[in-house]
Amino acid sequence: MRQLSNSPLFFGLTLITLLVLLAILAPLLTVHNPFSTNVDNWLRPPSREHFFGTDRLGRDIFSRVLYGGRVSLTVGLLAALLSVGIGTLLGLLAGFYGGIAEIVIMRTADVVLVFPTLLLVLTLVAVFEPALWLVILVIGCTGWPNVARLVRGEVLRLRQSDFVAAARLLGAKDRRIIWQHLLPNAVGPVLVAATLCVPAAVMTEAGLSYLGLGVQLPMPTWGNMLRDAQLYLRYAWWYAFFPGLFIFLTVLGFHLIAEGLRQALGIDGSSWRNKSAGN
């Protein structure tokens, strides 16, 4: 195995750790209140007083980016956890039992994949007010099909193994075989898939917030900061640049982690992608 310092895993973990620390330590690292407005300071470029400049209401963008990271990363992590939890459970059941259970689960996954997430959000927003929990729920409940397909493929391979046959001969029940034998041996690909779910959730949240369907202002997220900046791109490059930069760094960091884990666990990239995309 390569040394960790030569692996994408090291650089990805370093980058994500830095971003998480910036979000957690936001109250200690920022001087300005992210919600305080000052029309005298509107659209000021980056300076010693305002590292990332100010927005149209004179609010400090550095403070808002760091506090926005708290929301965006929380949405990404919780939504990914929900997606992976649902996908892992359904993938285990589909792969282990097969038959009707497999058909129902995998055809449901197909329906979720082709169903427009935006339409679902619009329906829920019509019933509920846009809120953080709603964004997490929508992203989490629409992001599980690829995880389920990946887990199903691994279980189909593993259930023919000798250790599963031995467990059956010893009288192990299905529940024990699934949770103590199949899941631990499928955890590598699941871990890689979980890592990739986080940036996907962050991007989805940013897109929803950009469209005004996610977390609402004045609560900052990277997505709604981009939406707020769209009318000022010609006059204030910093307004959209820094939220967009943090989104890019987050996506890059988690993809590096996923690639590093794939290499460390010896997972073949082409076969892994085929499993996650296949039926």
| Domains parsed from the chain with CATH numbers | 4-277 (1.10.3720.10)
54 strand-pairing partners: 60
Indicate the angle between helix axes 183-210 and 132-142, nearest 10 degrees.
Answer: 130
Tokens representing residue 39 in the block = 């029309």
Q: How far apart are CA 124 and CA 94, in angstroms?
A: 29
- Positive or negative: CA dihedral 33, 34, 39, 42: positive
Q: What pLDDT shows up at residue 131?
A: 76
User: What pLDDT shows up at residue 16?
Assistant: 94
Q: What is the spatial distance between Cα 208 and Cα 259, in angstroms, rounded to a whole number?
A: 27
Bridge partners, 60 (sequence order) = 54
pLDDT of 242 reads 94
Q: What is the pLDDT along the chain (279 residues), one digit of tens a residue?
A: 444 444 888 899 999 999 999 999 999 998 889 888 888 888 899 998 889 999 988 899 999 999 999 998 998 899 999 999 999 999 989 888 888 988 999 999 988 888 877 777 777 776 777 778 888 888 888 888 989 998 898 888 888 777 777 877 777 787 888 888 788 888 888 888 888 889 988 888 888 888 777 777 778 889 889 988 988 888 889 999 999 999 999 999 999 998 888 887 776 655 445 554 444
Number of Cα atoms under 13 Å in the Cβ half of residue 257: 22
pLDDT at 216: 77
| Tokens encoding 179 | 């949770």
